[in-house]
């Protein structure tokens, strides 16, 4: 059973209960009030009859019993009194009507039923002519009970109309109240079929409106996550394609030269050339496997950070590389502000080595490389700048993807595996920082390592 139907049944049940209890209480309250009023009227009429008999007796004590009966006939109210009788100990002295109640004693009033009728019996003892008598009068209560029955029949018809109109109102209310839930349910089913852009339109500010707002927020997050998953899947596919391509080229060369050495008799120079090529391609495969292993290790093993002076990190690195780069016409310089920052010196040193090596590859015929370190606004910033050929803006968004190269032919000729910046990005991420790139074609490149939470 649907929630809307349950709500409708509950509301109809509550209406029936409320109308039933309220109407029944009103009817019976009215009935008991009418019955009490009838009893008071009957009691008053009985007292008048009793007083009339006593008055006849006081006026003339010599009157006989027949005179008393005559007086009863004169005060008899046929419209209100159904039956009347005067009793003595020996006999019935006066009687009118057929309905009597024999269970009365003393001054009493009793409601009784007989043959489908409802009656009120009133009795009292009296004395006349020095004798004891008993007067009993029976009043008909049919009008009171008929009025109650008419009210009940009218109430039943009224209740049927009220329940029908109440059921229609309850159905309309349940429909309007549960319609937002139906919208959310339909939207959820459409999302389950792949329509991630579906949203619900709820304008109320109650709990249902909050539910719709939360659903839309959830749907937006799901859509974002799915988009990220799709992007990650696409990157993974590109990674697998690039990885297969990176393996194919050196493996083809190794197999080709090995087959050449195995199938033909080569002179010493040709054998040396083939062996050198096989060795260089093998080293290239080794470097590729080591880079991939470093990436896996960085993602799985936690990194222990310790306070590291910026100068003690940059000074040995530049002092070691500067003479080597000078032989190629490249001037490597470094400048840093005093201070320390939590980091892993080995990982950060490897990251800087990769960035400086990338800067070297961007310098075709010599140039300058600058390594700058400072602490702006409570952060640690290390920048590697060069005045090389730069990169197009479209390439910057893909620099940290595995096996991505701006210039594939040049990078492969220089021995690059396309994993250096991916490894650098992972190292900086483990330090809670961000790797940023700024470059223009023909004007050089600036790579920034920015460490610290909430990097500006």
pLDDT of 302: 61
Q: Considering the chain, what percentage of its residues have pLDDT values greater than 70?
A: 80
Distance (Å, whole) CA 153 – CA 327: 115
The pairing of beta strand 81-87 with beta strand 131-140: antiparallel
Phi, psi angles (nearest 5°) of residue 417 = -100, -5
Q: How confident is the model at residue 411 (pLDDT cuts 50, 70, 90)?
A: very low
pLDDT of 62: 45
Record the pTM: 0.45
Distance (Å, whole) CA 238 – CA 244: 10
pLDDT of 400: 66
3-class secondary-structure state, position 390 = coil
Instruction: Identify which has the larger pLDDT, 56 or 142.
Output: 142
Residue pair 425/435 in contact (Cβ under 8 Å)? The answer is: yes
Q: How confident is the model at residue 403 (pLDDT cuts 50, 70, 90)?
A: low
DSSP string, 397-411: TTTTSTT--SSHHHH
Q: Helices 3-59 and 142-192, interaxial angle, to 10°?
A: 170
Mean pLDDT, to the nearest integer, of 428-444? 85
Distance (Å, whole) CA 293 – CA 373: 29
Instruction: Identify which has the larger pLDDT, 60 or 164.
Output: 164
pLDDT of 256: 80
pLDDT tens track for 274-324 = 788 788 778 767 766 766 666 566 665 666 788 999 999 999 888 888 888
- Is the pLDDT assigned to residue 412 strictly greater than 50? no
| Domains detected in the chain | 3-160 (3.30.450.20), 196-301 (1.10.287.130), 302-451 (3.30.565.10)
pLDDT of 398: 66
pLDDT tens track for 384-396 = 999 988 888 777 7
Which range (64-78, 179-193, 352-366) has the least confidence?
Answer: 64-78
Which range (3-17, 96-110, 401-415, 436-450) has the least confidence?
Answer: 401-415
Mean pLDDT, to the nearest integer, of 189-204? 81
Average pLDDT value for the chain: 80
What are the Cα distances from residue 197, in Å, to 184, 209, 326, 416? 13, 19, 57, 42
Mean pLDDT, to the nearest integer, of 255-275? 80
Q: What is the C-alpha radius of gyration for the chain, rounded to an integer number of angstroms?
A: 55
pLDDT tens track for 27-76 = 899 999 998 998 898 888 888 877 777 776 665 544 555 666 666 666 65
Residue pair 185/200 in contact (Cβ under 8 Å)? The answer is: no
As a residue count, the chain comes to 456
- Is the pLDDT assigned to residue 89 strictly greater than 80? no
């Amino acid at each position: 059973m649907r929630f809307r139907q349950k709500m409708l049944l509950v509301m109809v049940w509550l209406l029936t209960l409320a109308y039933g209890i309220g109407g029944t209480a009103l009817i019976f309250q009215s009935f008991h009030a009418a019955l009490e009023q009838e009893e008071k009227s009957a009691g008053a009429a009985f007292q008048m009859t009793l007083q009339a008999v006593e008055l006849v007796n006081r006026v003339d004590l010599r009157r006989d019993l027949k005179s008393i009966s005559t007086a009863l006939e004169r005060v008899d109210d046929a419209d209100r009194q159904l039956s009347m009788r005067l009793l003595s100990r020996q006999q019935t002295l006066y009687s009118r009507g057929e309905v009597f109640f024999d269970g009365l004693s003393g001054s009493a009033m009793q409601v009784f039923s007989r043959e489908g009728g409802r009656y009120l019996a009133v009795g009292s003892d009296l004395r006349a002519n020095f004798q004891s008598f008993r007067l009993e009068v029976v009043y008909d209560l049919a009008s009171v009970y008929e009025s109650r029955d008419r009210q009940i029949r009218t109430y039943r018809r009224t209740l049927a109309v009220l329940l029908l109109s109440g059921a229609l109102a309850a159905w309309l209310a349940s429909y309007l109240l549960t319609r937002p839930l139906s919208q959310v349910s339909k939207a959820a089913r459409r999302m389950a079929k792949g329509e991630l852009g579906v949203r619900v339109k709820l304008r109320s500010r109650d709990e249902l409106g909050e539910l719709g707002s939360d659903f839309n927020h959830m749907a937006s997050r799901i859509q974002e996550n799915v988009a990220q998953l799709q992007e990650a899947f696409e990157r993974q596919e590109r990674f697998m394609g690039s990885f297969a391509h990176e393996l194919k080229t050196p493996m083809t060369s190794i197999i080709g030269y090995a087959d050449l050495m195995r199938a033909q008799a080569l002179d010493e120079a040709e054998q040396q050339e083939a062996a050198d090529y096989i060795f260089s391609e093998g080293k290239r495969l080794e470097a590729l496997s080591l880079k991939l292993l470093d990436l896996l290790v960085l993602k799985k093993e936690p990194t222990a950070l310790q306070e590291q002076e910026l100068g003690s990190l940059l000074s040995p690195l530049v002092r070691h590389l500067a003479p080597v780069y000078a032989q190629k016409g490249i001037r490597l310089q470094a400048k840093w502000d005093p201070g320390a920052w939590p980091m892993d010196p080995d990982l950060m040193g490897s990251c800087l080595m990769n960035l400086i090596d990338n800067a070297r590859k961007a310098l075709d015929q010599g140039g300058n490389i600058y390594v700058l370190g400072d602490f702006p606004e409570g952060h640690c910033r290390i920048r590697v700048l060069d005045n090389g050929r730069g990169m197009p803006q479209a390439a910057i968004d893909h620099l940290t993807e595995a096996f991505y190269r701006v210039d594939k032919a040049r990078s492969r000729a220089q021995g690059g595996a396309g994993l250096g910046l991916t490894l650098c990005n992972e190292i900086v991420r483990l330090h809670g920082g961000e790797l940023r790139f700024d470059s223009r074609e023909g004007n050089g490149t600036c790579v920034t390592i920015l460490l610290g939470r909430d990097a500006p």
